Amino acid sequence: MCWGDNSQKQLGLDIGLINVPTAVPDISDVTSVAANSYHTCALLTDGTITCWGYNANGQIGVGSSENLITTPTAVSGITTATSLTLGKQHTCALLSNGGVMCWGMNDYGQLGDGTNTNRLTPTPVSGIDSATSVGAGDTHTCAVLRSGGVKCWGNNEMYQLGDSNTNNRHSHLTPTIVPQINSATSVGAGESHTCALLKDGGVMCWGNNYEGALGNAVVAYFSKIPVAAFDLTSATSLSSGDWHMCAGLNDGSVRCWGNNEHGQLGDGTTTNKDTPTAVSTVAIGANCAVTNPVNGNAGVGSDSCGGKTTLNVGESCAPGCDTGYTVSGLTTCSAAGDTSVATCAPLDVASGGDHSCASASFGVVTSCGLNDCDRLGNGEIDGSDVKRA
């Protein structure tokens, strides 16, 4: 399902702006979706990728630079992808063998193939054969290796490659190692900054510190080397916007930092934050419901279903969930002896250029940020900077 600005057919439909979630035609068996300003790609269960939208620099990966690809089209030569990431006008895929392939614009070497030549079809990134995560910024790309190290390539004007070279802000056409990082599990890249999630739950960031994008409580234009995001010790996921970052924590809560012009940090303000700040009221309730069977039926906590402690067959109920969690699983007592009505699942978090979203397996999505193109998907086009569900 897609919604929002469709000026470059990035929603996979040959019509104008769409202000409610709408099914993309001719696509199924999707495991994940990635989107940037003007193009969108989906990873399918069979390891292939399909893309659509703006294609002037070959970022759709179909062997041509036809300006617009209006419907989902298979990317050439990709059959073993496990994840994908989109830069401003380039696309990269992580493969099951640890390799990375990229395609599209290559003016800063963001494809990592040793050249500045745009590629209309996927091309291997030089020297990467043990990647576990990949993240694309506007004009740079980074990958986490099995060793826990991170390599980056492409534009380095704001030290977003993190290689600590104080005299060289030029592009790197092939991957270069990021020092001080040896336990990374994933990486997120913004417009010109980068952050890595570490095994111990910390987050390290480097590059442009515009509006506090590095989250280290320091007023500095950039950092040439990785610095720790302030007071993060239990992060489990990481997502990047243009100038902001969000981290999901192991208690299910979400913290964001950086530019907040459009409310994309979700803290109820439009004030920029240079340290990780709690997202306001992402989830519902307090304390998960009891699931022990009572009288042969599924039991629920006294904080749910108006205080009921049992459900009859056919009755439905949702448990209250801790902050940062939402209902997942069965919501109906389908048979006597059921031992659980539902569980509480942690929210996922994702960031776009000027907006952020949190979702859960039960399908609840909360959005916050700029809504000028209805990127919040709530059926309104009001340019508002608000948190919506």
303 has a pLDDT exceeding 60: no
DSSP-derived 3-state class of residue 161? coil
Q: Which long-range contacts (CB under 8 A, 24 or more apart) does 119-123 make?
A: 119/58, 120/58, 120/61, 120/62, 120/63, 120/64, 120/65, 121/58, 121/61, 121/62, 121/63, 121/75, 121/76, 121/77, 122/61, 122/75, 122/76, 122/77, 122/78, 122/93
**Strand pairing report for 293-294 and 273-278:** unpaired
pLDDT at 206: 96
- Taking the C-alpha atoms of residue 109 and residue 129, their distance in angstroms, rounded to an integer, is 18
Query: Sorting pLDDT into bands at 50, 70 and 90, what band is 319?
Result: low
- Mean pLDDT lowest among 106-120, 175-189, 347-361: 347-361
350 has a pLDDT exceeding 60: no
Q: What is the pLDDT of residues 130-139, one digit of tens each?
A: 999 999 999 9
Handedness of CA 292, 297, 299, 302 (dihedral sign): negative
291 has a pLDDT exceeding 70: no
Query: Sorting pLDDT into bands at 50, 70 and 90, what band is 356?
Result: very low
- Mean pLDDT lowest among 11-25, 105-119, 231-245: 11-25
Structural domains in the chain plus CATH codes: 2-283+348-388 (2.130.10.30), 284-346 (no CATH)
- Taking the C-alpha atoms of residue 320 and residue 310, their distance in angstroms, rounded to an integer, is 15
Query: Sorting pLDDT into bands at 50, 70 and 90, what band is 225?
Result: very high
147: amino acid identity, one letter? S
pTM: 0.74
Closest CA to 121 of 51, 63, 45, 183: 63
169 vs 91, residue with greater confidence: 91
Q: What is the pLDDT of residues 47-82, one digit of tens each?
A: 999 998 899 999 999 999 999 888 889 999 999 999
Alpha carbon distances (Å) from 299 to 307, 314, 319, 320, 343: 11, 14, 10, 13, 12
117 has a pLDDT exceeding 60: yes
